[in-house]
Amino acid sequence: MDVFQIKIDDDRPIQLNVKNYERYTKKSDPFYIIENNKLKYYAICPACKNPIQVINLYVDKKFDENNNKLPLYAKHVKRSVIGVADYLQEAYDNCPMANPNKFGGNEKHRNKKLRNEIVSLIKFYPVVLFNEIRSITGIDFSEKAFGKMINTFIKAEGFYYKYITKYNLPYGFLNMQKSISIYNNKLYPSSIKNELIDNINKSNFFQFNKFHITPKSKDMFCEIVIYLANHKFDKKFESETIEIIIEEKFEEVSNVVYEKTIELNLEKYINTIEKQKRINSLTNNIILE
């Protein structure tokens, strides 16, 4: 995983990098520990509160024997770490970061508390979810399209699916949708916007023209859709990926216009929610007359 926490009572994930880890742990016990004559680094999983170990925080070399770049990541350790956290097997077994459920599964829970947590996030902070799904896909969905997505999610009881948590909600929310038409859509200012423009312009039937995704010819009825697929979990690094796919269709012809594998960011959405809560609280004392 690429997140951590140092407080048992705080489930807000902190993005894992050297700067953040040093800042929050202050490079001190009990997070920096010498074991078997080696300095090791520990923290807390934001979701299950079990101890995790930070790997490759400081490395002497940047690449392994296969010339692959050594990644910085954290993984669960199945034992208690004194001063950091006690290990609880049940919490680990149900941890969405250690044992995520594969997207697309039909397995549901009937936990009202978990259900209400997901529903409350959508009901009270829809703008955060709206902006996040646009950022992930690079598509500037309309409010009408977003409304249809919410209806699909609620009618399908997405809040009961085991694979959907408060950390991965934007991805799970998108994954529950059928292929979404992006005909005549605008693009959202995102890290993949330029890639999308290049690929759409190279497609057979569509172009990005006058800030919209439009057909190259007005004489044909063609479609262009986006969807998420192929969710995968890497047990070694405790990381998750999913593919963004854009496909065009004309009569019996179907082509993939864009395909990109992205890693799920499990800290951005929930931390944006927490920031929104703090901002909202600033106006609590204002009285309307």
Q: Point out which residues pair with 261 in neighbouring strands.
A: 243
Q: How confident is the model at residue 65 (pLDDT cuts 50, 70, 90)?
A: low
251: left (phi over 0), alpha (psi -120 to 50) or beta: left
In this predicted structure, what is the pLDDT of residue 104? Answer: 80
Average pLDDT over every residue of 1-13 = 94
| Per-residue pLDDT tens over the stretch 227-236 | 999 999 998 8
Where is 19: in which H helix or E strand? helix 18-25
Instruction: Report how far Cα 203 is from the mean position of its chain's Cα atoms.
Output: 28
Q: Give me the phi and psi of 162, to 5 degrees please.
A: -65, -30
Nearest to 47 by CA among 95, 79, 90: 95
Pairing of strands 139-140, 186-187: antiparallel
| Euclidean distance between CA atoms 43 and 198, whole angstroms | 42
Task: Give the model confidence (pLDDT) of 85-139 as tens digits.
Answer: 999 999 999 899 998 888 987 889 999 999 999 999 999 999 999 999 999 999 9
Amino acid type, 233: F
pLDDT in tens, 125-173: 999 999 999 999 999 999 999 999 999 999 999 999 999 999 999 999 9
* Residue of 38, 49, 56, 58 whose CA lies nearest to 81: 49
**Pairwise CA distance, residues 147 & 267, whole Å:** 25
Q: How confident is the model at residue 252 (pLDDT cuts 50, 70, 90)?
A: confident
pLDDT at 51: 98
211: nearest Cα among 189, 247, 187: 187
Nearest Cα to Cα of residue 171 among 103, 122, 270? 103
Rg of the chain over CA atoms, in angstroms? 22
pLDDT at 64 over 60: no
Closest listed residue to residue 136, CA positions, set 202, 187, 96, 85: 187
Distance of CA 14 to the CA centre of its chain: 14
**Residue 38's pLDDT is what?**
93
- 36-45, 64-73, 80-89: the lowest-pLDDT one: 64-73
C-alpha 1/C-alpha 94 separation (Å) is 16
Please say if the pLDDT value at position 46 is more than 70. Answer: yes
Average pLDDT over residues 227-247: 94
In terms of Cα–Cα distance, which of 31, 28, 17, 115 is closest to 73? 17
Dihedral of CA 90/91/93/94: which sign? Answer: positive
In this model, does residue 60 exceed pLDDT 70? no
pLDDT tens digits for 196-217? Answer: 999 999 999 999 999 999 999 9
Average pLDDT taken over every residue of the chain: 93
Residue 67's pLDDT is: 63
